[in-house]
Amino acid sequence: MRRITRIATVGIASAALALSATACGGKKSSDSTASSSESAGSSKSAAIAYDIGGRGDQSFNDAAFAGLEKAEKDLKVKGAEAEPTEGESEADKVQRLTELARKGNNPVIGVGFAYAPAIKKVAEKFPKTTFGLIDDTSVTAPNIANLVFNEEQGSYLAGVAAAKASKTGTVGFIGGVEVPLIKKFEAGFTQGVKDTNPNAKVLSAYLTQPPDFSGFAKPDLGKATAKGQLDSGADVIYSAAGLAGSGAIEATANAGKWAIGVDSDQYNQAGLSKYKDKILTSVTKDVPDAVYNLIKSVEDGKPQTGEIRYGLDKNGVGLADSNPAYKSMAEITAAVEKAKADIIAKKITVKTAP
């Protein structure tokens, strides 16, 4: 019993200190909230709220930042950014978007489907601000622009190229996290491979299961999984795994096999220059232009609204051809061009789920 009392005193004392830490903030609430009134649409500034991983992920978030950077340069808008904390809840996302909108940023762009419920709530509170939502069309409002991509179409082309480039008839797909979005990549890729070579084998693997999103962030996981697929005979590996994909590219290139990159043209990525000769191609997703176009539309006074879809037809998704080795393989490029034309002409419909 005595021990308990002592522990209790310790607890109370530490608690008192903790309280004083929070309490000194509390006093200022009246004057600081005064500055937080709505000033939407007044200044030339745009904001991005990042997905898990934040800036520096060499992938999705960096692509969004590239769009903001371009707007900063070309349109002279001021860019603001905010990153999520791991393990945060919807309330934190609402708070982040509210703060960005309250500071007068227009548009405010949420990167990733996780922002959908939060944008729905915040968009109601700031009707004069345009909100961009990437990868989601489930919430709509006059001041929400849903920026979505036909990832499966680009992945289909990658499947065609992989099936043509493979000598063993076995190709690999590595997804970062097993979520519907990444399954779109898998579905398109598999269909592309099978349509080109019905006897080909596609090995599919996901690095982590949600809500563990580290599969987008851990290159070592990508490396180990790629090694496993190489051991099983795969000689072309397509990884849609954000930063983890660089590990897969490293393992594949070291084994002298072909790697296919994702999101941006990874052949030209400085961090991967050591392996670029073995990066056959990359499935590109033009997030930078989607972000830039939205910012520009707001600056022009005609803000985008509703679903803005980027497919093969608008070069919103595509297959990079910066590797000279890839360009020299006439048979592959011809097959890819034909598939591309067929998809645009709607002769081929690409599935969005495996």
Cβ pair 260, 283 in contact under 8 A = yes
In the complex, the smallest distance separating the C-beta of residue 15 from another protein, rounded to whole angstroms, is 3
Residue 142 or 277 with smaller CB distance to another protein: 142
Residue 161: CB atoms within 10 Å: 30
What minimum distance in Å lies between the beta carbon of 202 and another protein? 20
- Least separation in angstroms between CB 150 and another protein: 13
Identify the burial level of 4 via C-beta atoms within 10 angstroms of its C-beta, where 0-12 means exposed, 13-18 middle and 19 or more buried: exposed
Q: Which residue has the tokens 């910012």?
A: 295
Those residues whose C-beta lies under 8 Å from the C-beta of residue 142, and which sit 6 or more positions away, are: 127, 305
Residues contributing to the site for another protein (CB under 8 A):
2-4, 6-19, 21-22, 24-29, 31-33, 36, 80-83, 85-93, 95-96, 98-99, 103, 113-114, 116-117, 135-138, 146, 178-181, 209-212, 307
Nearer to another protein, 54 or 233 (CB): 54
State the nearest-atom distance from the C-beta of 181 to another protein, in Å. 4
> Cβ closer to another protein: 110 or 219?
110
Closer residue to another protein in complex, CB, 88/277: 88
90 or 220: CB nearest another protein = 90
| Nearest-approach distance from CB 123 to another protein, in angstroms | 16
C-alpha span between 199 and 44 (Å, rounded): 55
